[in-house]
Chain A
């Protein structure tokens, strides 16, 4: 089955630790995205990548980092510099020109 997988579904982290969220897609999509969702809020764009080995900052990139070494993978690292990391993180992908973004099931990160 084609789709986007995110792991883990729930993640707990101690304050001051870096943590990496996984996002994998087998849809052969060129573009991938990371969004953050807070309770009662819409999604906000963290980073996006339109092609391998290239990525761009979104609206709230501070405290986050990404890599895009493979077309199918776009991991997000939440660093200790992110002051309020507890949130629901959603990964998405799309083909160039389609406009429609397909979303993964999300990772809920809680900082203890």
Chain B
């Protein structure tokens, strides 16, 4: 069975600090997909990134970066120079679906990390 663990329930930092959100996953499949979503107070989930299991390259998008390490089954998310607008709940998710692109059978989510950025 697949599982996603986000051990950090809540993180609070001061604005402009860097912060890393951890994600550890379990899966028996060799082909899988990993996702990060952001949930602001409004409740709607916002897609941030998708990564397939064959692509271990780190990715950077502005102040966001992701570190995927198959050896430790981790897919961590770092926000550099955090801002108050980054305050939200962040979810890591996994799909084992072999259907192209992943996610066709639904996603398995971690419990989320509540990130608080203090001004």
Chain A residues proximal to chain B, CB less than 8 Å: 31, 33, 35, 40-45, 48, 50, 56, 58, 88, 90, 92, 94, 96-106, 108
Contacts and interface: CB of A to CB of B under 8 A. Distances in A.
A91 to B, nearest CB: 11
A50 B97 CA distance: 13
B95 A99 contact: yes
Nearest to B1: A59
Chain B contact-residue range equals 20 to 34
B111 A40 contact: yes
Nearest to B45: A103
Interface string B31-48: 001010100001111110
Contacts of A108: 43
Contacts of B99: 96-97
A28 B108 CA distance: 24
Contacts of B100: 96-97
Q: Most chain-B CB neighbours within 10 Å: which of A56, A97, A104?
A: A97
